[in-house]
Amino acid sequence: MGGGNFRNADGGPIFGRPRFDRFRRVMDDTGVQYASDEFTYTIKFGDLIAGASQPAVLNIERSSAFEAVLLTGGARANSEADQLQPFYELTFQIADGASNRNLMNAAIPGANFVGYGNFPFVLPIPRRFMPASQVTFVANNGSGASELFDVQLSLTGRKIFMAELAGRPLPRFRKWSAPNGLVYSEDFFIYDFQTDVVPSGGSVPITLLMEADSDFQWIMTTACFVADPLWQQPVAAIDVQVKDGGSGRDLFNVPTPAETIAGTGQQPFVLPEPRMFLAKTPVTVTLTNRFLVSDEHDIHNVHFTMIGRKIFEQD
Average pLDDT score over residue span 261-280 = 97
Read off the pLDDT of each residue in 223-235 and give the average, rounded to a whole number: 83
pTM, to two decimals: 0.89
Residue ending a domain, among 164, 198, 229, is 164
Check whether residue 288 and residue 229 sit in a common domain: yes
Same domain, 194 and 302: yes
Claim to verify: residue 159 and residue 193 sit in the same structural domain: no
The answer to whether position 62 is within a domain reads yes
Residues 198 and 105 placed together within one structural domain of the fold: no
Please say if the pLDDT value at position 284 is more than 90. yes
Contact by Cβ (8 Å): 257, 191:
no
Residues 58-92: b if buried by 16+ CB within 10 A, e if exposed: bebeeebbbbbbbbbbbbbbeeeeeebbbbbbbbb
Q: What is the pLDDT of residue 240?
A: 98
In this structure, the answer to whether residues 206 and 136 fall within a common structural domain is no
Q: How many domains, the chain?
A: 2
Least confident of 62-71, 89-98, 165-174, 256-265: 165-174
Whether 78 and 126 share a structural domain: yes
Q: Is the pLDDT of residue 69 over 50?
A: yes
142 and 207 inside one domain: no
In a domain, 2, yes or no: no
Does residue 172 sit within a domain? no
Sequence-distant (6+) residues with CB within 8 A of 46 are 54, 150, 151
pLDDT on residue 5: 43
Domain annotation covers residue 5: no
Whether residue 58 lies inside any domain: the answer is: yes
pLDDT in tens, 156-180: 999 998 765 445 567 788 888 888 8
- Residue 118 domain-assigned (yes or no): yes
More confident residue, 92 or 228: 92
The pLDDT assigned to 3 comes to 42
Domain end marker among 133, 164, 195:
164
* Residue 170: per-residue pLDDT: 76
pLDDT bin (cut points 50, 70, 90) of residue 232 is confident
The pLDDT score that the predictor gives to residue 28 is 65
Instruction: Identify the domain containing residue 203 by its residue range.
Output: 184-313
In terms of Cβ atoms closer than 10 Å to its own Cβ (0-12, 13-18, 19+), residue 276 is middle
Q: Looking at the structure, tell me whether residues 138 and 237 fall in a common domain.
A: no
Judgement on whether residues 92 and 122 belong to the same structural domain of the protein: yes
Helix (H, G, I), strand (E, B) or coil at 258: helix
Cα angle value 209/114/238 (rounded, 5°): 60
| CATH code of 44's domain | 2.60.120
**Is the domain of 230 the same as that of 108?**
no
Answer yes or no: is pLDDT of 283 > 60: yes
Are residues 28 and 73 part of one domain? yes
Same domain, 42 and 144: yes
3-state helix, strand, coil in the chain (%, to 5): 5, 55, 40
- Is 174 within a domain? no
Residue 251 maps to a domain: yes
Domain end call among 130, 164, 198: 164
15-36 pLDDT tens trace: 555 554 556 666 666 666 778 8
